[in-house]
Amino acid sequence: MLLVESGPRHLIENLLPGLYRQPVNQRVDLFTCFSGAPRGFDTSRGEILRTSDYQGRAARKQLYARLRRCGYDVMGIVCADTPLMAKWKWALVWQVPAKVFILNENGDYFWFDYSQWRTMAHFLLFRAGLSGGEGAATVSRVIFAPFVLLYLLGFAAYIHLRRALRT
């Protein structure tokens, strides 16, 4: 299993004990941008890979090839409400042939596949601010933004035209 720590460290620290209790998880590797190991990480059962070790295009290509050779069955990605490693995690989803699960900041998770499209849609709408009470306000701002911009441009043109006619 490969875990991508792209969120607060406590999420991985809370997840690790449950993963190690499962007999199928003989090896759990961690890809992170943080220094040090998370509390509870067993270095005898996994390896820590850091983003700082794979800077540059050639190094990233080597990383992707290495991860493909490892033959991971499952990859877990933390998608908390923080912008940590945003490009890395989606590049890894694209490059590593493994079944992916998404873990959010509440500790909830779902599998990243087409059968979970409703869950993923709700997740994306929530992240975009389009669910709940803020959804209607966000949609109305998006709809009315071009009209407000047109009004402001027209008003500015009117003022500049008036000033030009006075002089």
Residue 81 confidence class, pLDDT cut points 50, 70, 90? confident
CB 76 within 8 A of CB 1: yes
pLDDT band for 7, please (50, 70, 90 cuts): confident
Other residues' Cβ atoms within 10 Å of the Cβ of residue 19: 19
**pLDDT, average across residues 110-116:** 79
pLDDT band per the 50, 70, 90 thresholds, residue 40: confident
DSSP letter string over 9-40?
HHHHHHHHHHHHHSTT-S--EEEESSSSPPTT
Section 81-102 average pLDDT: 86
Q: What is the pLDDT, as a whole number, of residue 112?
A: 80
Q: How confident is the model at residue 165 (pLDDT cuts 50, 70, 90)?
A: very high
**Backbone dihedral angles phi then psi of residue 99, each to the nearest 5 degrees:** -75, 135
Question: Is pLDDT larger for residue 5 or for residue 156?
Answer: 156
Q: Supply the pLDDT for residue 118.
A: 82
Strands 48-50 and 109-111: unpaired
Looking up tokens 């590593």 gives 96
Q: Where are the alpha helices (DSSP H) in 22-132?
A: 57-70, 86-95, 117-127
What's the average model confidence in pLDDT over 113-118?
A: 80
Residue 138 has pLDDT above 90, yes or no: no
Q: Which is nearest to 74 in space by CA: 21, 40, 113? A: 113
Asked if pLDDT for residue 9 goes beyond 80, the answer is yes
Q: What are phi and psi of 8, to 5 degrees?
A: -60, 140
Q: What are phi and psi of 146, to 5 degrees?
A: -65, -35
